[in-house]
Structure 1
């Protein structure tokens, strides 16, 4: 992968990074190679999602009748799944819905076995139907984002476009994506402390995320940036 990266930067005419953390890395790591090249930042759109109100789904997911936090991601260590679950296992009064591919790896199966016994944690298998996923996110009190790698994460810009209050893992990529306007955590203790914020603080973050999502992460804007390069 390092060789692929090096070749891509060396032989391309324009280098595109999907996050400021990526473009900064490229300019630093390959300073001589890109000295006379354009290095552009183009992220992803997230405005294909929309808030969903569907009372019929409360019958299928009665867990959602009370306030809850939500997370949707691949069950991988780099997404800090274990940290999120550990935090909520110590907060019996805070509910969490976690959607992911638990059976894909031993990591996921082990976590599912350990934390499925927690009454305040609901572990759901992957849901590929957008209406249901958007409903689960739309009705959440807060969105927990644990990704630590990968530049700009599509799931994060979708959450922002849904105007959700975001608690994100503290890394350069997430800070750049959210313009450092949400709340950040690294440990389970950090996350527990952030969950103690009042609804007013979460409402403020939700407004900030919604504004940034619409301003920065619309597909029309992303397409325009690519067209301009072409």
Structure 2
């Protein structure tokens, strides 16, 4: 039996977040129960264990210490893994750490895990140190931490080929061992009916109509290019709405109002958050088109979900996005007028042209990004 310990997600069942969804789906689509046993660290109010998707979930109680919580949590979870492995005499365990938060502490634990006969794998995520939400000191910590994680890991599992290339080039002197396994997504349709009262009420309250809106779903942070998308939408002549499903914060919203004056354009509608996954899938399906402005990170979950659900996708032209969608999407740049022009072009595509984009996007997701396929790739790796 191969025991795999996963650290770095807030836990499962997933309520939100890319890593949480990844672990949830990895365990849900897990088929080799007689060959692999997953142990998942979960952030909680008390130290306890439970079983979910046949995985052993162990809670780690984390004190309220502000932003340092995440680092404390990962270190405490790693410490608990070592204790469990030693106590149960687990043979050849794999510790899989999601994100590069604990670089200053990693060398000590890697040595300990090696002594216990185990290996340490790391998912380096995207360029966390580039995110504009962090101040200069935090960004410097992220960069140093990433460097130390790469230097000490036995294997880096990258969910983007662009991230894998970056790791190999940036940290060439450490001869990092890497492999590529993408993030995944569901490839089915939503189980929610168009006639569902909850859905109809959501549309009615926001004065939104199916197939009459462009959509974006994502974290409300500057590097997702909300400013560019809003400015360009204001310039375009589309009669459709621009619906933004995001966790709005007042500070950034005020900045956007000052820079774009979006409140004067009735087409731009901040729609809050939607935590019902079936409803969110249905909202994606009913969109005329989807905007994706992410330019930091690896294989982005919201992009995969859009490619699997929305007929037409308009993506920022960066390596991460082209790598995933290939010829299944239209692409825009941040050059003034570029996205506005693309929206007007998209508005006037005939259905046969839209269908070609849809078919290519669905095939791309089905072949390389379904959760069943991704879970299988991980199982092959862990059993190698």
* TM-score computed with the length of structure 2 as normaliser: 0.55
2:212 aligns to what?
67
Note the 1:71-82 alignment, pairs <5 A.
71-82=216-227
2:24 aligns to what?
none
Distance 1:152 1:160 in 2: 12
1:212 aligns to what?
364
Distance 2:359 2:263 in 1: 33
2:236 aligns to what?
91
2:378 aligns to what?
226
Deviation, structure 1 residue 33: 1.6
Contact 1:163–1:210 (Cα < 8 Å) also in 2:
no
Distance 1:53 1:87 in 2: 33
- Is the aligned partner of 1:133 residue 2:133? no
Contact 1:44–1:152 (Cα < 8 Å) also in 2:
yes
RMSD value, Cα: 2.0
Note the 1:1-230 alignment, pairs <5 A.
1-34=142-175, 37-47=176-186, 50-51=189-190, 52-55=192-195, 56=197, 57-62=199-204, 63-65=208-210, 67-92=212-237, 93-102=239-248, 104-111=249-256, 114-187=261-334, 189-195=337-343, 196-197=345-346, 198-199=349-350, 200-230=352-382
Deviation, structure 1 residue 172: 0.9
Deviation, structure 1 residue 164: 2.9
* TM-score computed with the length of structure 1 as normaliser: 0.90
Structure with more relative contact order (C-alpha pairs < 8 Å, separation 6 or more) = 1
Distance 1:163 1:128 in 2: 18
Runs of 4+ in 1 over 6 A off after TM superposition: none
Distance 2:194 2:256 in 1: 30
Larger radius of gyration: 2
Runs of 5+ in structure 2 lacking a partner? 1-141
Are residues 129 and 49 of structure 1, via their aligned partners in 2, closer, same or farther at CA, if it must alter by over 3 Å?
farther
Q: What is the DSSP-based 3-state SS (H/G/I as helix, E as strand, rest coil) of the residue aligned with 1:147? A: coil
The count of aligned residue pairs is 227
1:133-165 CA deviation, whole Å, 9 max, x = no partner? 112111011111111111110000111122532
Deviation, structure 1 residue 59: 4.2
